[in-house]
């Protein structure tokens, strides 16, 4: 199979969908890998490294897309890439279609087979291709949140861990999944007070057992979230419903009652965001004001640490890429129910109910 790896075009997206090690494995399995020139530069990977692994280097996005049977990416196609979509193509990438009606309609119109990393789901309901990026986004959320809390960045001017004689910042993490746990762990490491809010009592018990008395937990309800937010300096929104739009758990009214200069980081922005008023931002211009608070809503947070993220992503995706390339989409999916759950669109039809419901299609 011909596998195309185009350069990512989203703002400050420096990740690439395949490492030279991954290319080497695919080439050894008999496939042809076509990497767009410069695709790996942002992740510290040269064209020559891909050549040494047996990949071919093509000059343009049109060649990477147009000559391939399977295109693997990191981020969803944006408008300038819609022209590359076609019926005989299989696209394997993060899609987040519940938050992107224009892309959904473009994929339907093109007849492309679209498989989303974020909805590949194992029998235990874990999301193996989302987990590594959730881990990175969770850790980064506290890094960018603590930086945004500096007065020079528009925040309250508080230090996460405080100092002798001065109080620590209070961090509230909404959603205790993979990203939420990594956010909580990082915030604890910086010395912050941390409260995790989640709808699952078993998950809250698990977190309390793992971290002992270091963090507090609260069962999720509108009342409890509002009460926690009034004293919060940093809020991390990490709510996830696989394939579906994120619920708006933090309302405009709640934010209006928060401390001046508080910071809210919406990790769920790829799925539409879990704060009322959230809208996607970029690494070039990451924050905006809501009342007296600051929102950080960058939609590709792991793109800021591409040398780590690219390798973590390929480690997770390569077995699935190998299966699709070696067997074709239909056989690979028939043999692996987890991969079958990744199918979002095929033959001009939406195949994931959550996406159809999100757009009334």
Q: Of 100, 198, 233, 270, which is the active-site residue? A: 270
Q: Of 96, 100, 233, 266, which is the active-site residue? A: 96
Cα–Cα distance measured from residue 121 to residue 56, given in angstroms and rounded to the nearest whole number? 32
Six-digit token string for 193: 């007070």
Could you give the count of Cα atoms lying within 13 Å of 241 in the half-sphere of its Cβ?
A: 18
Q: What are phi and psi of 266, to 5 degrees?
A: -105, 95
Six-digit token string for 38: 């410069």
Q: Are 262 and 234 in contact (CB under 8 A)?
A: yes
Q: What are phi and psi of 72, to 5 degrees?
A: -115, 135
**278: nearest Cα among 304, 245, 309:** 245
The three-class DSSP label of residue 264 is strand
Show the DSSP H helices in 7-123 as ranges: 20-28, 47-52, 61-66, 101-110
The contacts of residue 41 (CB under 8 Å, 6+ apart) are none
Cα–Cα distance measured from residue 350 to residue 194, given in angstroms and rounded to the nearest whole number? 40
Cα–Cα distance measured from residue 212 to residue 269, given in angstroms and rounded to the nearest whole number? 30
Order across the sheet with 234-237: list the strands.
216-219, 193-198, 170-174, 234-237, 263-266, 293-296, 287-290
Q: Are 344 and 116 in contact (CB under 8 A)?
A: yes
Annotation says 233 is catalytic? no
Question: Cα(first)–Cα(last) distance of the chain, in Å?
Answer: 33
- Strands 56-58 and 113-116 turn out to be unpaired
Tally Cβ neighbours within 10 Å of residue 344: 25
Catalogue the active-site residues: 96, 270
């Amino acid at each position: 199979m011909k596998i195309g790896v185009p350069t990512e075009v989203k703002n400050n997206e420096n990740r690439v969908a395949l490492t030279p090690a991954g290319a080497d494995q695919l080439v050894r399995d008999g496939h042809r890998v076509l990497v767009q020139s410069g695709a790996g530069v942002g992740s510290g990977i040269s064209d020559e490294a891909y050549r040494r692994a047996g990949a071919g280097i093509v000059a343009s996005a049109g060649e990477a897309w147009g000559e391939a049977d399977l295109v693997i990416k990191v981020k969803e196609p944006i408008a300038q890439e819609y022209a590359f979509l076609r019926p005989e193509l299989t696209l394997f990438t993060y899609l987040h279609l519940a938050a992107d009606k224009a892309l959904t309609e473009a994929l339907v119109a093109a007849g492309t087979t679209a498989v989303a990393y974020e909805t590949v789901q194992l029998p235990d309901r874990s999301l193996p291709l989302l987990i590594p990026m959730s881990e990175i986004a969770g850790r980064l959320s506290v890094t960018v949140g603590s930086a945004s809390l500096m007065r020079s960045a528009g925040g309250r001017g508080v230090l996460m861990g405080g100092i002798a004689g001065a109080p620590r910042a209070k961090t509230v993490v909404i959603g205790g999944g993979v990203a939420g746990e990594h956010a909580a762990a990082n915030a604890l490491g910086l010395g912050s007070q941390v409260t995790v809010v989640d709808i699952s009592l078993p998950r809250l018990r698990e977190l309390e057992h793992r971290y002992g008395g270091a963090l507090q937990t609260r069962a999720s309800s509108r009342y409890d979230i509002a009460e926690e937010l009034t004293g919060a300096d940093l809020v991390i929104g990490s709510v996830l419903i696989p394939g579906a739009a994120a619920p708006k758990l933090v309302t405009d009214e709640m934010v209006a009652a928060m401390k001046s200069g508080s910071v809210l980081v919406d990790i769920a922005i790829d799925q539409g965001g879990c704060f009322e008023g959230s809208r996607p931002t970029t690494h070039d211009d990451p924050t905006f004001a809501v009342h007296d608070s600051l929102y950080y809503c960058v939609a590709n947070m792991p793109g800021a640490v591409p040398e780590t993220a690219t390798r973590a992503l390929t480690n997770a995706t390569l077995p699935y890429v190998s299966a699709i390339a070696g067997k074709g989409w239909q056989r690979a999916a028939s043999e692996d129910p987890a991969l079958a759950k990744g199918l979002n669109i095929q033959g001009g039809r939406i195949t994931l109910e959550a996406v159809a419901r999100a757009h009334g299609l």
